[in-house]
Amino acid sequence: MLFHHLSSGEVVEKSKTESTDERVGEFRKRLRIVDIKGGESEGCDRLGETLTVRGWVRTLRVQSSVTFIEVNDGSCLSNMQCVIDSDAEGYDQVESGLIATGASICVHGVVVPSQGKKQKIELKIHKLVTVGKSDTSFPIQKKKVTREFLRSKAHLRPRTNTFGAVARVRNALAYATHKFFQENGFVWISSPIITASDCEGAGEQFCVTTLIPSSKEAIDSPADAIPRTKNGLIDWSQDFFEKPAFLTVSGQLNAETYATALSDVYTFGPTFRAENSNTSRHLAEFWMIEPELAFADLNDDMACATAYLQYVDVVEKSFVRLTYTDAVELLLKSKKKFEFPVKWGCDLQSEHERYITEEAFCGCPDIKAFYMRQNDDGKTMNSTSIRRAFGVPHAGFGLGFERLVQFATGLDNIRDTIPFPRAPGSAEF
Amino acid sequence: MLFHHLSSGEVVEKSKTESTDERVGEFRKRLRIVDIKGGESEGCDRLGETLTVRGWVRTLRVQSSVTFIEVNDGSCLSNMQCVIDSDAEGYDQVESGLIATGASICVHGVVVPSQGKKQKIELKIHKLVTVGKSDTSFPIQKKKVTREFLRSKAHLRPRTNTFGAVARVRNALAYATHKFFQENGFVWISSPIITASDCEGAGEQFCVTTLIPSSKEAIDSPADAIPRTKNGLIDWSQDFFEKPAFLTVSGQLNAETYATALSDVYTFGPTFRAENSNTSRHLAEFWMIEPELAFADLNDDMACATAYLQYVDVVEKSFVRLTYTDAVELLLKSKKKFEFPVKWGCDLQSEHERYITEEAFCGCPDIKAFYMRQNDDGKTMNSTSIRRAFGVPHAGFGLGFERLVQFATGLDNIRDTIPFPRAPGSAEF
């Protein structure tokens, strides 16, 4: 286990050999703003309590007699309104301008009724401690900023209302996903990220290699340095895996392997597509949920998917089910002119999904983002050599986790649903 | 959502448009062997019940009057002993040799007391259905096989007692990890897998690129095809991310970013090292758990780690804590001759850890696999430009998940703790 500690950017090392018992108390969940304001009548049950809030200054309003500091600790959308007057310990930090948007503070005080209309309680500060001052260039001030701008500040965007909320929704959906499958007896399988298996092929893949020098040296690396065979081909025998290796596009085959031994399993891990799609609907790196059920057919499969979506609470009503073949038929029958012409075997595009959900089944709002398609599996995964040993009917589905987050949050751009989005030309932070 | 169904290797497509309500019943957790035999007195509470077991034939013993079929469904180590006589429906499948080790079967029958000493109950079969027959080349028969051999059959090893159990332990540890952090108010952050950030550098990295043709074509790819600039350097502007990109070695910096907005967060995702270490202790791809606590110091950090390890139930006693500096001092003082000489700044090797755990602290068995080291962070992660904006003391730790699985299972080789191990020259399945 590797421990680290940074005190406002600097490394601290203590140099003592000591047993746990001597130094460390019990690990306790810390009191958060969500615990305080999430209580009875927005925190009124805590009136009179003396407590400590740790968080970041969102805004500061200096008035003649008192100063209001809005503090957020990321546990919920709501800030804790903290009030300080000139008598309180640490008030000089307000006067000196140390307390500004973005500063990290600890406030110790008593819960009192708030005169304001926006909240029922506030914290009357006894003691204020600035733990870390705000950088003067802190770019997120109290004004509306675009999500495009925030994407360029990925390391700061979780401090905004929207991205803080997205992070919490994403977390809740991820945990509910694990809970659903665990409670139903599924075993989580970590499907591999790197694969040298040449039988996938659903989409463009990223190559994973050590033939190109690592890290900083790469940028100045001569193309000639790639090792070659006598025939001028890339010499894969010198690569890390001694053959071409790629980032996985799906864990389905791996899940199948385990389903045919453990009955019901699921993967929940990153998958990759190197498609040059610079759209609001595509990510080069995204998380997939892929359950696999042995001794199961399509009905069991769809029942599982429906139960899952109801459990994670993104749908309440029933689904319309449509096979890929029927969807294609429906689109052909429509006689509509699509930008991408429809024929059996083509990938369905947003315009096609829109027609199906908005026109063909306009009374059924729930299928929206969850267009169901029968996997044309025989074509995309030619892995009969491994499958032959399975010998059991099995079924499953694949769900892009970011699509689910998008569905739950209503965000336009899928890049806003994942902490550090990867897209063509973009792999920062 | 993409659905698929394979009936013993073939794709089945149904062609109906229908609403959920009409066709699909409630999704129910299926009855597993663990549910049957995990009950009161090893299943005696189910005596007389008629039920169905689905699973794989482990062994078959044909006796003069009856045949015993041991069935395993992956839900636990224990098999269900099923007994069939010549009157039962489907007995011809036993006679014809269809029922062999590895076959997938459904057995319907009644729970009766067992005469055998190994179990209290068994299933008297009324009806036997072979769902998938075993491949004649099924390589896992009833005999002891080495783990090395099984590593070459990664797609079949979960059907063995050992690897089935490892998969269940791994699953239990993963879920307990999520539960611990969720119950303590941490938010799960998916740290990115691909990173173009040039400030990591703790260990050798894999390059992620589309400059090399994807998948099958790669093997015959001429080295000349790598695009180059006028100066003969690799032309990164033509790569997917328009600059060199790598597989992450740690999510710590990403976790820090979110901790300074949401207070306490954790990552639990894959990380990578391209080190050419073909040992039983290294994986090229492994899962890391990296919590990050804002407003925290090393004591909070270690208290959290201790509480976590106690929660996931791999330790009961207390830890000895040792900083990296003290460990190095201890090793230097020992005057022992190590293969890898010790000086401050070196990586500690197994021989060093062994000395510390077995000789220096021989009364404290619990630190075994959990050697604690202060991160020499200022050196390995030179990211002050991003860190400047953090302005809050924070602490965390990194734990290799496979080390935890190894600790819990006692397996010698770390490659046996992960479903599809990646190591130099090895990225199969």
pLDDT per residue as tens digits for the range A240-270: 999 999 999 999 989 999 999 999 999 999 9
CB contact under 8 A, B419 and A73: no
Residue B370 has a pLDDT of 38
d(CA B165, CA A187) in angstroms, rounded, equals: 11
pLDDT value of position A15 = 34
Using a CB-CB distance cutoff of 8 angstroms, which residues of chain B are in contact with residue A171?
182, 187-189
pLDDT tens track for B345-383: 787 777 887 888 777 775 543 333 333 443 433 333 334
Q: Residue with structure tokens 């970011």?
A: A402
Question: Taking the CB of residue A379, how many other CB atoms lie within 10 A of it?
Answer: 11
- Give the one of A18, A54, A370 whose C-beta lies nearest to B321's C-beta: A18
CA distance B320 to B361: 8
Q: Give CA–CA dist B278/A184, Å, rounded.
A: 38
Closest Cβ–Cβ partner in A18, A300, A377 for B6? A377
Set of chain A residues whose Cβ sits within 8 Å of the Cβ of B240? 206, 274, 276, 284, 424-425
With an 8 Å Cβ cutoff, are B209 and A207 in contact? yes
Chain A partners of B320 at a C-beta cutoff of 8 Å?
17, 19-20
CA dihedral A257, A260, A264, A269 (to 10 degrees): 0
pLDDT at residue A347, rounded to an integer: 75
A348-382: per-residue pLDDT in tens?
777 887 888 777 775 543 333 333 443 433 333 33
B396: chain A residues, CB-CB within 8 Å:
3-4
What is the reported pTM? 0.88
Nearest CA to B334 out of B306, B299, B360 is that of B360
Secondary structure (3-state) at A328 = helix
**Strand runs labelled E in A357-416:** 373-374, 394-400
Q: Which residues of A touch B310 (CB under 8 A)?
A: none
Query: CA of A180, closest CA in chain B: separation in Å?
Result: 11
Two tokens, residue A368 = 């929206």
CB-nearest to B9 from A164, A183, A387 is A387
ipTM score: 0.88
Chain B hits for A326, Cβ within 8 Å: 15-17
Cβ-defined contact of A74 to B287 (cutoff 8 Å)? no
CA distances from B318 to B306, B313, B366, B400 (A): 8, 13, 7, 20
Closest Cα in chain A to B159:
A261
d(CA B45, CA B37): 9
Q: Return the H-helix or E-strand segment holding B162.
A: helix B161-183
pLDDT digits (tens, 9 = 90+) for A79-104: 999 999 999 999 999 999 889 988 99
Q: Which of A175-189, A345-359, A413-427 is the least confident region?
A: A345-359
Judging contacts by C-beta atoms under 8 Å, the chain B residues touching residue A366 are none
As given in the structure block, the two tokens for residue A279 are 């759209």
| Pairwise CB contact (< 8 Å): A295 & B54 | yes
> Average pLDDT, stretch A21-44?
79
B375 to chain A: which residues are within 8 Å by CB?
2-4, 11
Which pLDDT value is given to residue A10?
A: 39
Instruction: Please tell me which of the candidates B156, B195, B284 has its beta carbon nearest to residue A389.
Output: B156
Contact B216, A225 (CB under 8 A): no
**Closest-CA residue of chain B to A426:** B241
CB contact under 8 A, B192 and A16: no
Among the partner-chain residues B20, B178, B219, the one whose CB lies closest to the CB of A321 is B20
Chain B residue closest to A223 (CA)?
B234
Q: Where in chain A is the domain with CATH 3.30.930.10?
A: 157-416
DSSP A426: B
The amino acid occupying position A94 is V
Which tokens go with A333? 């029958």
Contact (CB, 8 A) for B139 and B153: yes
**CB contacts, 8 Å: A103 with chain B:** 391
Tell me, what's the pLDDT at A11?
37
Which of A58, A106, A181, A206 is the best mutation test for B, with the most CBs of B within 10 A? A206
Chain B contact set for A420 (CB, 8 A): 191-192, 254
- Contact call for A198 and B215, based on CB within 8 A: yes
Q: Is the CATH number 2.40.50.140 carried by domain A20-132?
A: yes
pLDDT score of A75: 95
CATH class of B157-416: alpha beta
Q: Which residues of chain B have pLDDT under 50?
A: 9-24, 199-200, 364-384, 386
Nearest to B17 among A210, A233, A322 (CB): A322
Of these ranges, A33-42, A108-117, A350-359, the one predicted with the greatest mean pLDDT is: A108-117
User: What is the per-residue pLDDT for B87?
Assistant: 94
Scanning the structure block, which residue is given the tokens 């090793």?
A: B331
- For an interface test with A, give the residue of B26, B27, B136 to mutate (most A CBs within 10 A): B27
**pLDDT for res A125:** 97
> In this complex, do A325 and B167 lie within 8 Å of one another by their Cβ atoms?
no
- Residue B112: per-residue pLDDT: 97
Residue with tokens 């000089």: A92
Q: Is the pLDDT of residue A171 over 90?
A: yes
pLDDT at A428 over 70: yes
DSSP-H helix ranges across B295-342: 298-311, 324-333
Token pair belonging to A51:
């407590």
A270-286 confidence digits (pLDDT tens): 999 998 888 898 999 99
- The distance of B388 to chain A (nearest Cα, Å) reads 6
Nearest CA distance, B95 vs chain A (angstrom): 20
pLDDT number for residue A40: 81
More confident residue, A14 or B78: B78
Looking at chain B, which residues constitute the CATH 2.40.50.140 domain(s)? 20-132
Alpha-carbon distance A255 to A251, whole Å? 6
Q: Which residue has the tokens 């490394």?
A: A11
Q: Rounded to whole angstroms, how far apart are CA atoms A127 and B136?
A: 77
The one-letter amino acid code at A326 reads D
Q: In this complex, which of B196, B246, B325 lies closest to A15 when CB atoms are compared?
A: B325
Q: Do B262 and A75 touch (CB under 8 A)?
A: yes
A138/A320 Cα distance (integer angstroms): 48
CA A272 – CA B368 distance, rounded (Å): 37
Which residues of A fall within a CB distance of 8 Å from B236? 218-219
Q: Residue B294: which of A130, A77, A7 has the closest Cα? A: A7
